[in-house]
Structure 1
């Protein structure tokens, strides 16, 4: 079982792993350079607007839509106005925010659906930056204009524009900013350099992150977690501050030894996470920093894009797609070297049974003596749902099936449901890629169904 742990990296009390999901099917001549890139949440499709700065009628930007594995879905020249930002809704509709405040909506096949405007005053002042975000109300759009004013639409399907109050002393766009959703309210957190502000419907309030002293310098990059619960702030001196997004407590402050702002900064955590972390991307380096002083570093050989997900971070490049995530606790218990967890013993028992070895009976007897056979089956079923390699999934499910034969009061529903969902996921991948086996887990499937309804 040790080979499964070969790509595990310790971080605090947990382990992190970087798993290849796909070799990308696309063929990108210039990679991801000079492109606006947006990936839909929950492992969804990818949109690229190639060379968005092109303005000549004879040389237009190219809008390309791909499946998560890089299979081309649509491609056409962009004939509308200059685009500032690209993003996806949770129902896989593509949004393109233009400089004049128009937001154009396309379906996943590149068919135009509709458009709306972020306000008439934006036409004159122009959009400097925009963000597409998801909230309890639906998918929203936030913009900052040339007049240094923010406008929000918290739900594009029930359009109500909110122009937020002025920010004292702000000229042009802020150094960095993001959208927060707290207590069913949507706010903007922004840094002007020396000062940090929160904007809501009626006020602009100066805030100070607990424990972040003036010696750390101005905040030049920020990131909020997928659930909006945690916040990360990167300063000009290379310090990374992490804490709850309500800015009333502090988790940690780390000196990254790198004063260059990262190209991207994304939270990496999963439900029931032991060790939430922040992933920072520079040109040739990917760094994972936990709530303690330790970190994990990965060299990067080609330009890539980070996509925050419910259960980790997707890493997109021109050649492959990987998932960086905390190893789920049940997988740690089963696969760590010399583990005596019930699930680990049951997996070994089944492997010995396949060899017709009497050791299978010894492992089973040990589990039964501890009255842990039911727990062993549960662990194997749960771990199968977290794994992306189909061979590992099958090994775990076969071990669970083997173990439940010796139980008289086993409830079959979790086992049946896991088998059904993994089989459905595999068939979906096969139809998309034309291949028999591709990595998939069921955690994002469960969340997608819940969040998209």
Structure 2
């Protein structure tokens, strides 16, 4: 995929990229489709916002920065695409038609050099890795810092450094060790028996090796609310009430009374959770629970319920 996009960029008329030579490339999703950015051997960036309509633009020059950036990424939000280029600890935003802008970071811990940078799938957050193993989570404009944590870089730099959705960072420290770092400071480590690689998806990461394919994603809040052990969330109580009602048990009334005035929230949680479930029996139970609760909340807007029923019917 990347190779084909690079060939397309090289074939663009009036493009200097072929003469300059490509050292690194990044593909990205933009308002116009699939975009591509490349870094040349002369340390210049060339970008196309859509490979379907390849109009090449070059990023503005950065004063007094002639060396190769230590790391870089692409941020594409709305109709704006910019290259975030890092030179040691200096960070610049390079936008089409505008002069280079140095970003002033709000991080409390200063570093000498960043070696990795990644943008979240919703283009709202950045993760930066220093040469000492410090990982900093910030907003995309770096005006807000969410958290800081450290990883072990005693062996080498991470093989992969990508976001898993927009709430956690996936770090492949070596071929068989994967760590998920949450922006809240939590972490989970996975160990594998064989070498793996992964790629970023919209809502998670896809792991693959010679013998397996796995998908890792954050459990949605609605699913946690409904299925967490001993949950007192309204969605969990409504699901239990629906089950008791089908059994003909008087306890259905007791659970409904526990839901109280949170009935609309309960219905919304069950509907949302149904959209995240793959098991047909679970989908049916959640939709039936939402329908059961909806009969007692006649003033609520049922459009989300109708839409989810259509989606699940198609699936």
TM over 0.5: yes
Equivalent residue number for residue 279 of structure 1: 170
Partner of 1:160: 55
SS at match of 2:93: strand
Change in CA separation of 1:301 and 1:394 when aligned onto 2, cut-off 3 Å: farther
1:321 matched to 2:230? The reply is no
The CA distance in 2 between the partners of 1:194 and 1:410, in whole Å, is 52
Aligned to 2:75: 180
The 3-state SS of whatever aligns with 1:423 is helix
Given that 1:268 and 1:279 are in contact with CA atoms closer than 8 Å, whether structure 2 keeps it comes out as: yes
Give the match for residue 96 of structure 1: 5
Aligned to 2:192: 300
1:256-271 equivalence runs, <5 A: 256-259=151-154, 260-269=156-165
Q: Does residue 336 of the first structure (1) align with residue 245 of the second (2)? A: no
CA contact (8 A) 2:115 2:131 kept: yes
Partner SS for 1:174: coil
Offset at 1:164? Answer: 2.4
Alpha-carbon distance in 1 for matches of 2:185, 2:298 = 49
Would you say the 8 A contact 1:118–1:151 is kept in 2? no
Question: Structure 1 pair 150/365, CA: closer, same or farther in 2 (3 Å)?
Answer: closer
Residue 213 (structure 1) shift? 4.7
CA shift digits 1:187-216 (9 cap, x unpaired) = 2122344543333345344445333655x3
Per-residue CA deviations over 1:138-181 (Å, capped at 9, x if unaligned) read: 3322111122221112233443322223454545x533211123
Q: Is the 8 A contact 2:165 2:217 kept in 1?
A: no
CA contact (8 A) 2:242 2:289 kept: yes
Residue deviations 1:101-136, cap 9 Å, x none? 43xxxxxxxxxxxxx527442222221112122223
Shift of 1:183: 6.9
Please say if 1:376 is aligned against 2:287: no
2:99 is aligned to 203
Aligned to 1:252: 147
Deviation at 1:411, TM superposition (A): 4.7
* Aligned 8 A contact 1:174 1:192 in 2: yes
8 Å contact kept, 2:198–2:205: no
In 1, distance between residues paired with 2:168 and 2:298?
A: 42
The 8 Å contact of residues 220 and 235 in structure 1, kept in 2 or not, is answered as yes
How far the C-alpha of 1:421 sits from its partner, in A, is: 0.1
TM-score normalised by structure 1 residue count: 0.61
The match for 1:225 is 120
Counterpart mapping for 1:332-411 below 5 A: 332-367=224-259, 370-406=260-296, 408-409=298-299, 411=301
Shift in CA distance, 122/342, structure 1 to aligned 2, threshold 3 Å: closer
Give deviations 1:381-432, integer Å, cap 9, x for gaps.
122123233332222112223334455556543222211101212xxxxxxx
Task: Write out aligned runs for 1:137-148 (5 A).
Answer: 137-148=32-43
Are residues 1:236 and 2:131 paired? yes
Distance 1:182 1:331, change over 3 A: closer
Tell me the secondary structure at the aligned position of residue 226 of structure 1: coil
SS in structure 2 of the partner of residue 96 of structure 1: helix
Higher relative contact order (CA 8 A, sep 6+): 1
Q: 8 Å contact 1:287–1:295 — kept in the other structure?
A: yes
5 Å-filtered alignment, 1:61-80, equals none
Distance 1:396 1:298 in 2: 31
- The partner residue of 1:419 within 299, 309, 315 is 309
- Deviation string 1:191-249 (CA, Å, 9 cap, x unpaired) is 344543333345344445333655x3311111011222211111110000111121233
More helix by share: 2
1 CA distance for matches of 2:99 and 2:291?
59
Q: Is residue 224–residue 231 contact of structure 1 (8 Å, CA) maintained in 2?
A: yes
More moved, 315-324 vs 230-239: 315-324
Which aligned pairs between 1:9-20 and structure 2 lie closer than 5 A?
none
CA distance in 2, matches of 1:124, 1:366: 71
- Contact 2:15–2:56 under 8 Å retained in 1: no
Write the distance in 1 (CA, Å) between the matches of 2:284 and 2:71. Answer: 46
Q: How many positions carry a matched residue from both structures?
A: 309
**1:191/1:419 Cα in 2 relative to 1: closer, same or farther (>3 Å)?**
same
